[in-house]
Homo-oligomer: A and B are copies of this chain.
Amino acid sequence: MEQGGISKLTLQRLPTYLAYLQSLPNDGGGTVSASSIASALGLGEVQVRKDLAAVSVAGKPKVGYRIDELRRDLEAFLGCGTRNRAVLVGVGNLGLALLSYGGFADYGLDIVAAFDKKSALVGTTVDGKPVLSIEELPAFLRRERVSIGILAVPGSAAQTCLNALIQGGVKAVWNFAPVHLTAPKGVLVQRENMASSLALLSYHLKVEEQKDLT
């Protein structure tokens, strides 16, 4: 899947490069080679060169990449520094965890309000963010500029909530519900599948245990 001329897999690796560059000492003129980056991140050198060539011309043969330039190019490409206003739908355990997690602001995500249908939650605030009734969502989206929706509702409610977000003009949705959702062209639904990660870990342990027994 291509997104504006860059592959989704390359795009997914870019934040890793940026995090690595941010971890390096930066005295103004330092350089780093593709092979150093590749070995630090467990990637192939050819892949690193190809990925970085898509976003930067900071690499020079036999010299490597200027750390400051490459970092600046990656930040500009990824839209670091731009702020995206988001709403969260579904204030259960996961929703609460996401609301309380302060780290998203580092990536330009500002959660401005949360929505739930449970009347006991409506009117409360979590980490300074108001919890509003799900019925207020359409009016809120008409009134406020919101570009990202975060879905932390049960799977059975996810498509309905997604539709409400899309009708309200939201173009990018981060879906934590364990279901596949359908959306029109131009709307990105990015699924975060923590259950799958846990299943992989659990299955790995089962296989390792069986090895120990034989």
Contacts and interface: CB of A to CB of B under 8 A. Distances in A.
Interface of A: 3-4, 8, 11-16, 19-20, 23, 40-43, 77-79, 82, 84, 92-94, 96-98, 100-104, 107-109, 147-148, 155-156, 171-174, 178-180, 182, 186, 188, 190, 192-208, 210-211
Contact of A208 (B19, B96, B171): B171
Which of the listed residues A41, A179, A195 has the most CB atoms from chain B within 10 Å of its own CB? A195
Given A3-B204, A171-B205, A199 B101 contact: no
Contact of A188 (B92, B188, B192, B200): B200
A203 B79 contact: yes
Given A11-B200, A103-B94, A155 B19 contact: yes
Given A94-B101, A199-B14, A204 B188 contact: yes
Nearest to A22: B155
Nearest to A198: B107
B4 A207 contact: yes
Given A11-B199, A84-B205, 18 more contacts: A8-B200, A11-B200, A15-B199, A16-B196, A20-B179, A40-B180, A41-B179, A41-B180, A78-B202, A78-B203, A96-B100, A109-B198, A147-B205, A171-B204, A171-B205, A174-B198, A174-B201, A188-B204
A195 B11 CA distance: 11
A19 B179 contact: yes
A92 B156 CA distance: 32
Q: How many copies does the complex hold?
A: 2
